[in-house]
Amino acid sequence: MSKEKDIRRRLVEVVLDLASVNGRIVFLPHERLDADALGASISLAEVFRAVGCETTVLVDSELPESLSYLPLLETVQVYEPSLKYSPYDLALAIDCHEENRVGERADWLTRSRLRGSVDHHVVSTDLGRLDLVVPSASSTCELAFEIIWDLELYLAKPLFNRDIAVLLLAGIVTDTGRYSYSNTTPVVFRQAAFLLERFDVDLASLNYDIFERTTVERLQFKGDVYSGITAFDDGRILVASVTRDMIDRRGVTDDDLGNFASEMRGADGTEVTLLFSESNEPHGVRVNIRSSGCFDAAQFAKRYGGGGHRRAAGATLNDIAMGEAMDSIVREAKIFLDACKGELRS
């Protein structure tokens, strides 16, 4: 049995043991959540509730408008500073595995009787027996599908439903870039075929909601950002920045930054894109990193306390001005890119 299957089996056994005593499970998707983190959290919560557990999805802030098309959002609880910790039998970090990625909700992860995670990001800390972290997976929703599938087989009863199908497909479609990124594998196509054959899901509408739905203000904001793109190293590195004033002027939100860094990567000759944005809470600068070729975005982000995937990563630099952050990171990105090119030539 592979290590991944062994951990999945262990998770399923724990969930079924807790279900027999109406055990409590809390799901903690990462801060600044996306469709993958939220889709996996709600899907697993619904299934674990269906088998007998008491479940809670606890998110760090109000859900962004861009995720309003997803089902079952009414089941999600939003963290507030006044919320006191209550004991859970199992806490699962979703789409992350580090305590700092769940922010103010870390108590729920560290103080619960058991803790684990379901994640597909590059491993950045020691893992426990219930940490299902598979960097080769396309998305956390892919892993959530496999857990639900295992439970269906074990219990010999249907657990998937249409809402769960929409949630899982949303996460997979988002993290594979509509099945166009290098993390797209036969596994995700098989999962999609299963869900689309079993349930009436409008995949075209789902893609529209995720990638195309917009407003005039958002289009204008995108123009503001793209008009300020600067090229470095003969166009190998593209850099753009977003200030709070730019966001406020167009009446948009941080959530509207969306796929800007990924779109920039499509420019001819570009190997690295860096999108910098001012952050208020905490005060500092966030950088979204996208790459192609030899540049490992996750390893580069790790230098600044961040992480992610080889082709898509991010980090937040606290208590630093935009100009200082840009100068430092662009300079280091040039060195990092030259170094990996040198390794390929040697």
Q: Is the pTM of this model over 0.75?
A: yes
pLDDT at position 279 is 85
pLDDT at position 343 is 63
CA 33/CA 108 separation, integer angstroms: 17
The yes-or-no answer to whether 3-210 and 216-345 have a common fold is no
Contact 72, 163 (CB under 8 A): yes
pLDDT at position 254 is 80
Collect all residues with Cβ–Cβ distance below 8 Å to 104 and sequence separation of at least 6. 60, 79, 81
How far, CA to CA in Å, does 67 sit from each of 3, 17, 178, 209, 325?
33, 33, 16, 8, 30
Query: What fold, for 216-345?
Result: Diaminopimelate Epimerase; Chain A, domain 1 (3.10.310)
pLDDT at position 298 is 92
Amino acid sitting at position 290: R
Candidates 166, 168, 177, 122; CA nearest to 145 is 168
CA 119/CA 142 separation, integer angstroms: 10
pLDDT at position 341 is 76
Query: What fold, for 3-210?
Result: inorganic pyrophosphatase (n-terminal core) (3.90.1640)
Structural domain spans, the chain: 3-210, 216-345
pLDDT at position 123 is 85
pLDDT at position 77 is 98
In tens digits, the chain (346 residues) has pLDDT values of 589 999 999 999 999 999 999 999 999 999 989 999 999 999 999 999 999 999 999 999 999 988 999 999 999 999 999 999 999 999 999 999 999 999 999 999 999 999 999 999 988 788 999 999 999 999 999 999 999 999 999 999 999 999 999 999 999 999 999 999 889 999 999 999 999 999 999 999 999 999 999 999 999 999 999 999 999 999 999 999 999 999 999 999 887 676 899 999 999 999 999 999 998 777 899 999 999 889 999 999 999 999 888 999 999 999 999 999 999 999 999 999 999 977 665 5
